[in-house]
Chains A and B, each alone.
Chain A
Amino acid sequence: MKRTAQVLLLVLTGLGLLHTALFTDLYLRYVKEGLRPLLIISGVLLLLLGLAHAAFDRGADDAHDDHDHEHDHDHGHSTAPRIAWLLFLPALSLLFYAPPALGAYTASHAGSEAVKQRKGFAALPTTSPLPMTLTDFTTRVQQDKELAIKGRSVEMTGFATPVRGGGWDLTRIIFTCCAADAQTVKVHMYGTPAPPANTWLAVTGTWHTQGALGTGTAAAALDVHATRPIAQPVNAFTDDLPLTPS
């Protein structure tokens, strides 16, 4: 790989990282929010490396073109091995062709994440409908011995994932670190026809009676009263109450 190609590669990768993490929120599709500073630092560093290579290492690979090309790369510092060409893929992809966020396809192929055991529950606020996350709802339904959720109207947000064999789930995909460790939380929806896959919705409804409330047999399911389309929240990959784009 020649000097020009290396400069181009470093600069493009740096710009790609800055584009995704500094100028836009696209990085949230791929990694957790906490990585943002590291991505920005990495972007700046790569940009500087590329510019320094362009400025200081002139003539590093002139006059060697007529070598036999069979022998391989890494003898010295000023060439990079051929495998480095692969780095153009993520760089260009970040800049020009960012893949979409994970959605219904991934959710429908994933099992549902098991909810953590929680010891105690605070009293539910009296707001109605009560905004809740899918995880909170599932935990309440399956673990709260006080049955505080009984008869309460709750509002949850997520995207629609049609279920094979009928019906649909309201789903969220959660990252711990990046999209490779994505986990899915699902609450099954009763009473409305399935919306198109990946539609973001705010759904109000009450617990769908199935199993014994407050025990593990209770279904994480909702009788839907109303649905309302929403924009995809900025923090789509946490199971938090939605922050909508301003």
Chain B
Amino acid sequence: MPKTDELLDVTETVFPAAVRPPERRRRVLRRPPPTTALVIALGLAAAVLALSGTPWLNDPAVAAWRTVCLAITVQALPFLLLGTALSGAINAFVPADLFTKVLPKRPALAVPVAGIAGAVLPGCECASVPVANSLIRRGVTPAAAFAFLLSAPAINPIVLTATAVAFPGSPAMVLARLLASLATAAVMGWLWLWLGREEWLRPVVRHTGHQPGHSRFTEFRLGFQHDFLHAGGFLVLGAMAAATFNVTVPHSVLDTFSGSPWLSVLFLAALAVVLAVCSEADAFVAASLTGFSPTARLAFMVVGPMVDLKLIALQAGTFGRAFAVRFSTATTVVAVAASVLIGGALL
């Protein structure tokens, strides 16, 4: 088993000595490396190879788990590639002060602007995490980057069109989704300005933008590759967790909760977190949950693109666990509140 870390000297060549101290400090602060994840990964890999064809892997439940897990991964890979390529490009090609020039100077104003800018990133939620990360690295205030992170998967044209198709004849649902998602993204950005602490974020020393004397294209390629491998590993972890719930939660529990208006909102919000349906498809799933109130289905569509198991895994990998836990919890609460308020007014 080759060890996975061997590049202090490389770091030295890539980064000037001036940026080294934070890195050293980080090593002290950092928790023990995720050896558990490594052990699990290797164990599973060995199991897959050694036991191919053995009965338990082909048990219907295990087979369904493998199918769903692989499906989530395969479906997300193109979007993750898009996100990490964009992130690499922002790092290597975009001038450092572009974003600070374009966004309003005051962070409180930059938040809603970044939230609305989320509409331009097409595709699923997996793409937005690496992009938001690269925005922070390029000096965008984290609050604005988080507003972008939350709104991008929910309000882009593809997702809104899918919502309109899934709910024919109720344009109010599309409007409610747009407004509730934007409101959640903005509130979370402001909340970060108010309560957020830098130390929850994993310190960023890695991407420092274009270095004179290095080929921009090589910087892009290596940054892209690194981000993809990093995020991809967490994607697989998240897909495993989501597939577990997807296969084990019996759909009959749906009927238990559909009766109560309050519980049903909370239940569908929780379902959105554990099912990890991609944001382009979640409107169709929501449309099929016919026993539930429109507000509960709105909550499903607002929470889903912002918080789900694979996103939590991606965020934990990108920004650190301390951040992911707090941020996801707060986002869920704000998203449910926004859905109830806006759904109550519009639907």
Question: Footprint of B on A, CB under 8 Å?
Answer: 1-2, 5-6, 9-10, 13, 17, 20, 27, 29-31, 35, 38-39, 41-42, 45-46, 49, 52-53, 56-57, 60-61, 63-65, 67, 69-90, 92-94, 96-106, 109-111, 113-114, 116, 176-183
Contacts and interface: CB of A to CB of B under 8 A. Distances in A.
Interface of B: 2-11, 14-15, 23, 27, 30, 33-35, 37-38, 41-42, 44-45, 48-49, 52, 58, 60-61, 63-64, 66-75, 77-78, 81, 85, 168, 205-206, 218-219, 221-226, 228-230, 232-234, 236-237, 242-243, 246-247, 250-252, 254-255, 275-278, 280-282, 284-285, 288, 290, 317
A60 B70 CA distance: 32
Contact of B11 (A1, A65, A75): A75
B230 to A, nearest CB: 5
A158 B78 CA distance: 30
A56 B230 contact: no
B136 to A, nearest CB: 15
A180 B309 CA distance: 13
20 contacts: A17-B74, A29-B71, A45-B81, A57-B222, A64-B8, A71-B5, A71-B27, A71-B33, A74-B206, A78-B226, A82-B4, A82-B33, A83-B41, A83-B234, A90-B236, A92-B49, A99-B67, A177-B284, A180-B242, A181-B275
Given A56-B218, A72-B33, A180-B278, A87 B74 contact: no
A89 B221 CA distance: 24
B70 A49 contact: no
Contact of A72 (B5, B73, B225): B5
B81 A61 contact: no
B6 A31 contact: no
Contact of B237 (A80, A83, A96): A83
B5 A69 contact: yes
Contacts of B78: 35, 38-39, 41-42
A77 B223 contact: yes
Contacts of A114: 288, 290
A88 B45 contact: yes
Nearest to B284: A176
Contacts of A69: 3-6
Contacts of B6: 2, 61, 64-65, 67, 69, 79
A180 B246 contact: yes
Contact of B243 (A65, A98, A180): A180
B63 A105 contact: yes
Given A27-B74, A85-B42, A80 B48 contact: no
B67 A101 contact: yes
Given A83-B233, A114-B288, A180-B278, A30 B70 contact: yes
Contacts of B205: 75
Given A30-B70, A76-B11, A90-B70, 4 more contacts: A84-B229, A89-B44, A99-B70, A179-B72
B249 to A, nearest CB: 9
Contacts of A53: 221, 225
A53 B225 CA distance: 9
B5 A79 contact: yes
Nearest to A66: B6
Given A6-B229, A89-B44, A105-B64, A181 B4 contact: no
